[in-house]
Amino acid sequence: MRILGVDPGLRVTGFGIIDSRAQNLQYITSGCIRTGQGEIGDRLKTIFEGLSNVVGKKSVDEVAIEKVFLNKNPQTTLSLGQARGAAICAVALRGLMPVEYTALQVKKSVVGYGHAEKKQVQLMVQRLLGLDKVPPSDAADALACAICHAGTLEVAKTIDARRLDLKKGRLI
């Protein structure tokens, strides 16, 4: 299963793609879409086109995106929501419906601690994917989101398999 993780941001949107087979994770690609300082419409268009291009080239099966958190500055929260909207539209138009995870869920899944610092996330992503170097922060967050989703899918498969066994009258 090929999973795209997205860490939306109005200035920088991180993306990362992994393959997940059982409990094996393989790095495919990652990067950052930088929007510059232009008008809001141009910046959202850059995010939309950038992610559309990534999804189109890499045959993605699943998408995981970080949820908006409430910030002290309402304008920052609004901007982040707009960036997420552009990202969600880009993948939805390709027939993919993103699964949303909070930053707390992603960090807990990848690092084991929901309040981990960015550097800890970067180092764990590097280790889990066997990367030669530490990925940039935004790309690492996106890869962490994809890794979180891969783990969630594995747990769901296990639960479904156990339900099937229970339906057949077998004890687990």
Question: Which residues form the catalytic set?
Answer: 7, 66, 138
Say if CB 33 and CB 50 are below 8 A apart: yes
First to last CA, the chain: 27
Residue whose tokens read 């982040």:
80
Angle at 80 between CA 79 and CA 81, to 5 degrees: 90
Distance between CA atoms of residues 152 and 165, nearest Å: 20
